C-alpha cells in the first residue's frame, strides 16, 4: 500500500469518526428535549374515540411523571397526573396510574383516580378505566369500573354499577349506596346515580334502608334527594313516596330532617297514614303529617290540618286549620 493510499484511508477514517461524533452529540442533546417536552404541545387527534392501546405502531412519545394543566377562561379547569404516559401520532395520550383534579373557582371540586387514563388532545375528553374512583370536595366517593369526562358539557358519566360512600357525620359512617349509571354535573355541582338505588345508614340510632329509582347529592351543602318509587324504612316505620329529601345541619353535622312528598303512605305497628308531605324531625324525635293527613288505626280514623307524632309516636297532636 502506497503512502497516498494510506493518506486517503486516514482521511476517510477521520471523516467517519467526525460523523459519528456529530450523531452522538445530537442524541445526547436532543433526547432530553423530547422527554421533557411540554405535554400541552401534543398533536390534535382526528377522532375522539377511546384509544386502542394495542395499536403501538403510532407511538411518538413516552415519558415518566406526566403532568398537564388545562385552564378554562383564565381559571384552572383541571390538573392531570400520570406515572407514565404514551403519546400517539393521532393526538391521544394513554396514562398509567392516572389522577385528575377538577377545579371550580380555582378550588378543587372533584378528584378522579384510576389504573389507566386516556385523553383526547382535540376535545379534551377523558376516559379513566380500572378502579375508577370519583371523589367530591365534601366527602362523597363513587367507585365504578370506568368513567368518562365530556369536556364541552363539563360532565362525567359512567354506565357501570356504582358503589357510593357518603361523608361521615356525628352519628357515624355516611350513606352506603349501590346503584347504576353515574352522572356528575360540574356546572350544577351535583352528583347523581340514575338507576336501581339501594341505600343504608344508621340514623338517630335506628337502622335505615331505602330503595328508589334515582339519587342526587349536592357537592356544596350535602343535601341528598331520592326520587322514583321511594321505599324507606326507618326503625319500625315503613314509608312509600315519589320523593325524599335529606337535609343536613351544618352546625350539628347530622341529618336534621327527612321530608317525603307527593302522596305519601306510611305504616308502623298497627296504624297506617296518608298525606301529601311527611317530615321526620330527627333532633326532636317527631313526625309531622301535612296535606290532608289521615291516620287509620283499627276502626279509628284521625284527620286534621296537621298531625304530629311526638316522642317517637307515643303521643299524637292534631292541629286544626285556623282559617276555617
Identify which of 165, 105, 106 has the alpha carbon closest to the alpha carbon of residue 133: 165
What b/e sequence results for 119-154 when a residue is b if at least 16 CB atoms lie within 10 Å of its CB, and e otherwise?
bbbbebbbbbbeebbbbbbbebebbbebbbbebeeb
* Residue ranges for the chain with pLDDT beneath 70: 1-59, 322-324
pLDDT of 323: 56
Q: In the prediction, which pLDDT does 64 show?
A: 86
Question: pTM value?
Answer: 0.77
pLDDT of residue 38: 33
> Which pLDDT belongs to residue 42?
24
What pLDDT score was predicted for residue 129? 96
CATH match of 189-324 with 2.60.450.10: yes
For the chain, helix (H) and strand (E) counts, in that order, are 1, 20
Number of Cβ atoms within 10 Å of the Cβ of 192: 18
Enumerate the H helices of 161-245 as residue ranges. Answer: none
Where residue 90 falls (left for φ over 0; alpha for ψ -120 to 50; beta otherwise) is alpha
Q: How far apart are alpha carbons 145 and 142 in whole angstroms?
A: 10
d(CA 303, CA 293): 6
> How do the domains of the chain map onto residue ranges?
189-324
The H-assigned helical ranges of the chain are 3-35
d(CA 94, CA 74): 27
Name the grid cell of 189.
355541582
pLDDT at 43: 26
- Specify which residues 239 forms β-bridges with: 232, 266
Amino acid at each position: 500500500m502506497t503512502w497516498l493510499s494510506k493518506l486517503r484511508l486516514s482521511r476517510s477514517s477521520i471523516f467517519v469518526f467526525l460523523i459519528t461524533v456529530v450523531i452522538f452529540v445530537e442524541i445526547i442533546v436532543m433526547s432530553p428535549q423530547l422527554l421533557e417536552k411540554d405535554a400541552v404541545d401534543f398533536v390534535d387527534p382526528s377522532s375522539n374515540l377511546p384509544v386502542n392501546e394495542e395499536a403501538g405502531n403510532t407511538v411518538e412519545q413516552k415519558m415518566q411523571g406526566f403532568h398537564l394543566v388545562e385552564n378554562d377562561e383564565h381559571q384552572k379547569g383541571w390538573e392531570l397526573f400520570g406515572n407514565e404516559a404514551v403519546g400517539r401520532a393521532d393526538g391521544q395520550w394513554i396514562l398509567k396510574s392516572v389522577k385528575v383534579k377538577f377545579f371550580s373557582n380555582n378550588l378543587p371540586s372533584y378528584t378522579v383516580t384510576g389504573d389507566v387514563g386516556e385523553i383526547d388532545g382535540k376535545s379534551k375528553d377523558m376516559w379513566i378505566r380500572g378502579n375508577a374512583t370519583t371523589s367530591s370536595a365534601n366527602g362523597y366517593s363513587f367507585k365504578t369500573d370506568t368513567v368518562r369526562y365530556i369536556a364541552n358539557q363539563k360532565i362525567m358519566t359512567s354506565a357501570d354499577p356504582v358503589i357510593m360512600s357518603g361523608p361521615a357525620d356525628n352519628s357515624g359512617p355516611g350513606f352506603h349506596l349501590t346503584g347504576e349509571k353515574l352522572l356528575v354535573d360540574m356546572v350544577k355541582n351535583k352528583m347523581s346515580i340514575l338507576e336501581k338505588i339501594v341505600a343504608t345508614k344508621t340514623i338517630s340510632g335506628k337502622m335505615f334502608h331505602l330503595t328508589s329509582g334515582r339519587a342526587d347529592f349536592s357537592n356544596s351543602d350535602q343535601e341528598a334527594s331520592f326520587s322514583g318509587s321511594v321505599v324507606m324504612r326507618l326503625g319500625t316505620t315503613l314509608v312509600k313516596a315519589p320523593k325524599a329529601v335529606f337535609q343536613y345541619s351544618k352546625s350539628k353535622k347530622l341529618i336534621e330532617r327527612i321530608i317525603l312528598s307527593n302522596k305519601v303512605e306510611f305504616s308502623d305497628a298497627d296504624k297506617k297514614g296518608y298525606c301529601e308531605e311527611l317530615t321526620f324531625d330527627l333532633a326532636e324525635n317527631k313526625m309531622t303529617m301535612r296535606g290532608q293527613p289521615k291516620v287509620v288505626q283499627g276502626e279509628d280514623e284521625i284527620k286534621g290540618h296537621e298531625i304530629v307524632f311526638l316522642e317517637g309516636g307515643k303521643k299524637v297532636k292534631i292541629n286544626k286549620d285556623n282559617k276555617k
